[in-house]
Amino acid sequence: MDVDVGALVTVLGEVRELLARPDSDYSWSSFLDADAALAEIDELTARVRAEGRAPFALGVLFAATGPIQEVALSSGWGEQFLALADRFDAACAGDS
């Protein structure tokens, strides 16, 4: 499976910006807090850059009812998340 690394890194950057908002609500997600979420996104972004592939953990984070969607829904950016999730899928398939 081909991955569009540039597109994937862009999506991860946008997700990171949303997760970093001070009004993000982490109470329903598996992330402990914003710092934990950002650290995980940063680590996975570094792996994408280094390995040129999408680690399995990213699929879990972007899954329906996954941790990012839980934050998105409780923080008011659910629609933005859905658009980002579509772009994530396209980047992972090399279709972006």
**Coil, strand or helix: which one is 78?**
helix
Predicted pLDDT of residue 23: 95
pLDDT at 96 over 70: no
Predicted pLDDT of residue 9: 98
Q: Return d(Cα 67, Cα 23) in angstroms, integer.
A: 16
pLDDT digits (tens, 9 = 90+) for 35-87: 999 999 999 999 999 999 999 999 999 999 999 999 999 999 999 999 999 99
51, 93, 24, 70: CA torsion to nearest 10: -120
Q: Return d(Cα 94, Cα 96) in angstroms, integer.
A: 6
Confidence of residue 2 (pLDDT cuts 50, 70, 90): confident
Helices 5-19, 34-51: crossing angle, 10 deg rounding: 170
Q: Return d(Cα 55, Cα 72) in angstroms, integer.
A: 21
Confidence of residue 95 (pLDDT cuts 50, 70, 90): confident
**Is-contact 44 51, C-beta < 8 A?**
no
Q: Return d(Cα 67, Cα 63) in angstroms, integer.
A: 8
